[in-house]
């Protein structure tokens, strides 16, 4: 039995996380002018192909149980989506403006002891 979030299984979230991290490594490697970004994208592509080619588990239908409906579920999902969105935007802003800021060294003209 697998858990589904919005009808999507865990494997898709693993692939999304893999590609987001590969994209971030690619962007950072562009900034520092190294060639590790292409390697990260190639590894992400290979891992994605392997994960897609692995056969899925056999799923048996679940007996339907009548459970009470949580009326606050939709509002909790909306709050969760807003929190995840703001976290991703904040993380991207931190990487762009905090980590990728170029600090050039300046010459010390006089020494104060």
pLDDT of 57 reads 66
Q: Model confidence over 27-69: pLDDT tens digits?
A: 988 888 778 888 888 999 999 998 888 877 666 666 667 777 7
Q: What's the mean pLDDT in 19-26?
A: 92
DSSP result, 5-64: BTTB-HHHHHHHHHHHHHHHHHHHHHHHT-SHHHHHHHHHHHHHHHHHHSPPPP-PPPPP
pLDDT band for position 70 (cuts 50, 70, 90): confident
pTM for the whole structure: 0.47
Binned at pLDDT 50, 70 and 90, residue 113 comes out as: low
User: Hey, where are the domains in the chain?
Assistant: 1-56
pLDDT at 10 over 90: no
């Amino acid at each position: 039995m697998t858990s589904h979030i919005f009808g999507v299984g865990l494997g898709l979230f693993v692939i999304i996380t893999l590609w987001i991290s590969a994209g971030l490594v690619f962007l950072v490697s562009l900034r520092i002018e190294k060639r590790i970004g292409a390697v990260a994208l190639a590894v992400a592509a290979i891992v994605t192909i392997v994960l897609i080619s692995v056969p899925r588990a056999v799923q048996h239908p679940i007996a339907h149980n009548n459970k009470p409906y949580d009326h606050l579920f939709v509002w909790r999902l909306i709050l969760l989506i807003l929190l995840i969105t703001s976290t991703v935007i904040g993380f991207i802003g931190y990487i762009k403006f905090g980590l990728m800021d170029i600090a050039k060294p300046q010459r010390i003209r006089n020494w104060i002891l």
